[in-house]
Amino acid sequence: MPLFEIFDPKAKPRPIGIDLGTTNSLVAYVKQGRPTVVTDCNSGALVPSVVFFGEQGTLVGELARRQAPEHPRETIVSVKRFMGRGADDAETRRLGPYEFAGPDEAPNRRVVSFKVHQRTVTPVEVSAEILKQLRDNARDEIGSVGPAVITVPAYFDDAQREATKYAGKLAGLEVLRLLNEPTAAALAYGLDQKQNGTFLVFDLGGGTFDVTVLKLEDGVFQVKSTGGDSALGGDDMDRALAEKILSDAHIERASPELVRRALDAARAVKHALTDVAVAGWELGDAKGEITREQFDVLVKPTVDRTIGPVRRALRDAGVDAQELDGVILVGGATRTPIVRQTVERVLGKEPLADIDPDQVVALGAAVQADLLAGEQLAEAGEDVLLLDVVPLSLGIETMGGIADKIIPRNTTIPTGARATFTTYADNQTGFEIHVVQGERELASDCRSLARFTLRGIPPMPAGMARLEVTFKVDADGLLRVHAIETTTGKEQSVDVQPTYGLTEDEMEQMLLDALDHGEEDLLKRRLAEGRVEAERVILATEKGLRDGKALLETGEEPQIRAAIDALHAATRNADPDAIRVATEALDKVTGPFAERRMNDAIARAIAGRNVEDVDHEVAAAKGVDAHVEEHEQRRRGGPEEKGSS
């Protein structure tokens, strides 16, 4: 006899985990100590990440997907690829047959917006519609829905993470945390298998690729390294296959409607070729077949793009492929035989596939939501600690355009660090703080995240002001920057929320460039640092010549002027060693003059003073000199004044 499931209206809301995917999305919760996916009335767990904006209303999921062939511009597919992107991003135009709002129509000119009928919608609003559907599905099954953990690719930047978090709020969800997808998958596997060891998570979804090396030990999940591509996935396979279908159908210029049909046909062929050797397709009156061998040739360039990030993640983690205890597959695209074969060939071991790769991320998110909400998994027996990492280094631009890294990549989050800087010129009344992200030595080669100015500092001699910059990265991977001038207490903070996302391959390219240009970048950094130091010495020497002219000996000034000219000439060349030699030569020739100036200053300072007062002032001056020296050591690559906050 069938039984009714009765909900207690006073029952505590259950936390949920959401996998907001590019192609499909899922929601899960913990039931009787086990993570369980929510299914709809047709027993299906996957909700297509598709939204149709009709004149009569909005459809989400499978009903929306069916509208795509007839209404390709009003049916938004794979919206995750648009999250955090700018309207002027060239890659935006390649991602679908959509009509984009112009500069005067979009609510925010710097963020891409879709034009549907007489309104504009942003990727955040589209994602919110998907999240609402998932929330409603969960409510139908469990009654009262509590706070949520939403997963994001590990390589999502600040803009994409902020956009995802805001979409959750628009959907009426309390977002407990954004959780990196690979970490969620490892969490699901770790609890299910109760294994300790080092694992690599290979996550190839519809639109994003993540690779993460984690160490699982007694309930602690520590991310050792992470990498990937925020614009690589099964959608790229579909596009390659759709182009062949259109070519075989002798269609040279396809309408948006026909492009959508070709993409749907390609996806169907891709799914079929997972289990069979030959699959047929239809496009209007045209028909054809594609073999698995043909498919493998078409998608091989896409699959091969995953190899570089995998090898870099292993190198960053200090792990050889042979040392891995397992490889976890995540994402629907990993069902494709060529992907599994490539993973096994590169890593030398058969990947784990005990848990459905489409569901594993949502299951891990449900586990984390349950733990964060104060519940305990019956099988776990203890708390689980997640230690994610910063995927790219964070820092600020210093004199000479140098990128000074404050939080290095692969630092465990949440985290904080601070660094102290000083002024370059006399009477400087403000600091411009330029926050950058990347691995290159010069700020111009890194990604700009934010700029803000700290004003109101009283004029002081160069080197006297103390600017303390603190970076804090929270559990969601979002950055907050705080700057304070310690002698005056002037301070300012900024939450880094850039208005555009990374272009396709940019995150991957940033790491590649850092590797390819390592020696060149180091030379540029040495050159920039040498020029800054040379200018500082020249300015100090010129000031000394003006203020201490009476202390110069006969013939001394021409020698100093000649050394200054030689240093000026050296700075115009691209040889950091020549600049260093010329700087040292100027220091040497000005040594006796500087000593006389110091003796004169001391004599004037102590005139009419008692010994005790002088001792106190000397002690205080030594403290300032030590602080300045520490700063100079930082600039020269010596011990850095950075501490966990």
Range 165-193 burial, b when 16+ CB lie within 10 A, else e: bbbbeebebebbbbbbbbbbbbbbbbbbb
Q: Is 543 a catalytic residue?
A: no
d(CA 386, CA 475): 9
Residues 6 or more apart whose CB falls under 8 angstroms from that of 241 comprise: 266, 269, 270, 290, 295, 298, 299
On the question of a common fold for 394-501 and 517-607, the answer reads no
Range 482-505 burial, b when 16+ CB lie within 10 A, else e: bbbbeeeebebebebbbebbbbbe
The single residue listed with the structure tokens 């803009």 is 159
**Residue 591, CA distances (Å) to 210, 551, 556 in order:** 57, 13, 11
> Encoding tokens for residue 436?
């950058």
Is the backbone peptide bond immediately before 414 cis, with ω within 30 degrees of 0? yes
Write the pLDDT tens digit of every residue in 565-617.
Answer: 888 888 888 787 888 888 888 888 888 877 887 877 777 766 666 656 656 65
Give the pLDDT band of residue 44 (cuts 50, 70, 90).
Answer: confident
Residue ranges of domains in the chain: 3-193+358-380, 234-303, 394-501, 517-607, 610-639
Write the pLDDT tens digit of every residue in 477-504.
Answer: 778 888 888 878 887 776 654 333 434 3
Among the four given CATH numbers 3.40.50.970, 3.40.50.2020, 3.30.70.60, 3.90.640.10, the one describing domain 234-303: 3.90.640.10
Which one of 89, 141, 162, 203 is the catalytic residue? 203
d(CA 268, CA 279): 9
With beta carbons less than 8 A apart as the criterion, state whether 330 and 181 touch: yes
Arithmetic mean of pLDDT over the chain: 78
**Residue 30, CA distances (Å) to 118, 179, 523 in order:** 42, 17, 54
Give the pLDDT band of residue 320 (cuts 50, 70, 90).
Answer: very high
For the packed helices 234-248 and 256-272, what is the interaxial angle rounded to 10 degrees? 110
87 vs 250 pLDDT, higher one: 250
Which one of 19, 125, 485, 508 is the catalytic residue? 19
CB atoms within 10 A of CB 204: 29
Q: Is 19 a catalytic residue?
A: yes
CATH topology of domain 517-607: Substrate Binding Domain Of Dnak; Chain:A; Domain 2 (1.20.1270)
pTM for the model stands at 0.58
pLDDT at 627: 44
Flag whether pLDDT at 152 surpasses 80.
yes
Mean pLDDT lowest for which of 17-21, 56-60, 402-406, 427-431? 427-431
Residue type, 399: M
Residues 6 or more apart whose CB falls under 8 angstroms from that of 552 comprise: 545, 593
d(CA 522, CA 502): 25
Helices (H) and strands (E) in the chain, counts: 15, 28
With beta carbons less than 8 A apart as the criterion, state whether 206 and 24 touch: yes
> Encoding tokens for residue 153?
């690719």
3-193+358-380 homologous superfamily: ATPase, nucleotide binding domain (3.30.420.40)
CB atoms within 10 A of CB 21: 28
Write the pLDDT tens digit of every residue in 88-127.
Answer: 665 555 666 777 776 666 555 567 788 888 788 888 899 9
Mean pLDDT lowest for which of 7-16, 243-252, 302-311, 406-415? 7-16
Span 281-294, average pLDDT: 90
d(CA 111, CA 199): 37
Q: Is 89 a catalytic residue?
A: no
Task: Specify the pairing of strand 209-217 against strand 385-389.
Answer: unpaired
Span 158-179, average pLDDT: 86
> Encoding tokens for residue 510?
């940033």
Which one of 74, 80, 210, 524 is the catalytic residue? 80
Which one of 125, 157, 181, 238 is the catalytic residue? 181
With beta carbons less than 8 A apart as the criterion, state whether 18 and 362 touch: yes
Question: What values do phi and psi take at 99, rounded to 5?
Answer: -100, 120
Flag whether pLDDT at 79 surpasses 60.
yes
pLDDT at 10: 54
pLDDT at 219: 64
Residues 6 or more apart whose CB falls under 8 angstroms from that of 266 comprise: 237, 238, 239, 241, 242, 245, 281
With beta carbons less than 8 A apart as the criterion, state whether 382 and 366 touch: no
With beta carbons less than 8 A apart as the criterion, state whether 295 and 169 touch: no
Q: Is 181 a catalytic residue?
A: yes
Flag whether pLDDT at 16 surpasses 80.
yes
d(CA 149, CA 137): 16
The single residue listed with the structure tokens 């991310």 is 223
**Residue 21, CA distances (Å) to 110, 134, 496, 636 in order:** 24, 12, 24, 46
CATH topology of domain 394-501: Substrate Binding Domain Of DNAk; Chain A, domain 1 (2.60.34)
CB atoms within 10 A of CB 144: 14
pLDDT at 473: 83
Give the pLDDT band of residue 129 (cuts 50, 70, 90).
Answer: very high
